[in-house]
Amino acid sequence: MSANLDWSNLGFSYIKTPYRYVARFKDGKWSDGELTADDKVVLTECAGVLQYAQTAFEGLKAYMTKDGKIVTFRPDLNAERMEQSAARLEMPVFPKEKFLEAVDMVISANKDYVPPYGSGATLYLRPFMFGSSAVIGVKPAQEYEFRMFCTPVGPYFKGGAKPITIRVSDYDRAAPRGTGHIKAGLNYAMSLYAIVDAHEKGFDENMYLDAATRTYVEETGGANFIFVTKDGKVVTPKSDSILPSITRRSLCYVAENILGMTVEHRPVRFDEVKDFAECGLCGTAAVISPVGKIYDHGKEICLPSGMEEMGPVTKKLYDTLTGIQMGRLPAPEGWIREIK
């Protein structure tokens, strides 16, 4: 039976659901992993995560499709990215097969919290891993926990996708050869100052430039850029310090292989941005949020798509990808994992 929630008015905030998954790493190996009703994590005050931020996370969604199936979208890529994040932070890798099993277990156990098709709401899954044993000298922890909980989240755009205004940030997100390419909590901790400041000044997001030269576009705090040129090509910035968004990679595949567009994945200079026709931010939360205006130290770049609605190419990409996710359009091989 479906949980009695006001699905279409949910926001993006934590709602506790009945079950979550936990596996523990000790003496060099992972425990079997199990579901628990206990949402509390009890740790030593000296845990690696609390002292030196040894933690990484993932984010993905479960959807109810048109024909009533519960599905996830490319969870194998979240599993692989989490393996890469763990390796870079000297944490033990949580195996992909176990990750996928945990996805199935958590969704099945909380089935009543998968929002109905058409509500616009989804069930957001948050896998995460952290050093749980005591660490005082700077080194990796000996013990870890891998957890996954889920929380229903509302439609990202209530009343249509209005374009947002972003600003070029004076702060940097990721250093060259640093940790920008992994989903580490530390990348977010140090971005909070910049996003609070952006919001106070009336901007929705920060556009980060490359930290070394500040001439190339990187991404925002939690979404990759996708641009459309005036002659209809899709362009996405390439850099080793950008987090490889699964949404962005999927949109580029859709553009090239389903919509027959030309896609370029290459370094994008900031001074090219004024010549683009459309701009969007892509990530699991919104799929694509259209950008209408980019503020750069007193100068404004107004995208020709304007402040009223998504540009036509962005819209087509958005409709195609969400159509695949919601079961309205056929999916490329291996993209949809049904939860039984």
Ligand X SMILES: *Cc1c(COP(=O)(O)O)cnc(C)c1O
Show the beta-strand stretches assigned E in the chain.
20-26, 29-30, 34-36, 55-57, 60-64, 70-73, 122-131, 144-153, 164-168, 205-207, 224-228, 234-237, 263-266, 278-283, 287-296, 299-302, 336-339
User: Which listed residue (245, 289, 305, 314) binds ligand X by CB under 6 A?
Assistant: 245
Active site residue 293: no
Q: Which stretch binds ligand X (CB under 6 A): 199-207, 239-247, 293-301, 330-338?
A: 239-247
153 binds ligand X per the rule CB under 6 A: no
- Tally of residues, the chain: 340
Cβ proximity to ligand X, 49 vs 82, nearer residue: 82
Name 153's bridge partners: 122
* Minimum separation from the CB atom of position 162 to ligand X (A): 20
Report d(CA 219, CA 194) in Å as an integer. 14
92 binds ligand X per the rule CB under 6 A: no
Q: Which stretch binds ligand X (CB under 6 A): 93-101, 129-137, 210-218, 238-246?
A: 238-246
Cβ-in-10-Å burial (0-12, 13-18, 19+) of 15 comes to middle
Cβ proximity to ligand X, 167 vs 248, nearer residue: 248
Closest alpha carbon to 22 in 105, 78, 117, 82: 105
Out of 96, 183, 201, 293, the active site residue is 183
Q: Which stretch binds ligand X (CB under 6 A): 110-118, 240-248, 296-304, 321-329?
A: 240-248
181 binds ligand X per the rule CB under 6 A: no
224 binds ligand X per the rule CB under 6 A: yes
* Cβ contact 327:318 at 8 Å: no
Q: Which stretch binds ligand X (CB under 6 A): 27-35, 113-121, 196-204, 220-228?
A: 220-228
Q: Which residues, 6+ apart, have CB-to-CB distance to 275 below 8 Å? A: 229, 230
Closest alpha carbon to 281 in 328, 314, 326: 314
Tokens in use for 156? 């990202």
Report d(CA 91, CA 82) in Å as an integer. 10
55 binds ligand X per the rule CB under 6 A: no
User: Which listed residue (18, 59, 95, 185) binds ligand X by CB under 6 A?
Assistant: 59
Cβ proximity to ligand X, 20 vs 248, nearer residue: 248
User: Which listed residue (75, 92, 163, 283) binds ligand X by CB under 6 A?
Assistant: 283
Question: Longest C-alpha distance within the chain, in Å?
Answer: 58
**Site string (182-211) toward ligand X, x via CB under 6 A:** -x----------------------------
Cβ proximity to ligand X, 267 vs 304, nearer residue: 267
243 binds ligand X per the rule CB under 6 A: yes
Closest alpha carbon to 114 in 50, 148, 164, 70: 70
222 binds ligand X per the rule CB under 6 A: yes
Alpha carbon dihedral 309, 206, 283, 180, in 10-degree steps, equals 160
* Minimum separation from the CB atom of position 134 to ligand X (A): 28
321 binds ligand X per the rule CB under 6 A: no
Cβ proximity to ligand X, 183 vs 293, nearer residue: 183
325 binds ligand X per the rule CB under 6 A: no
The site for ligand X (CB under 6 A) is made up of: 59, 183, 219, 222-224, 243, 245-248, 283-284
Catalytic residue annotation: 183
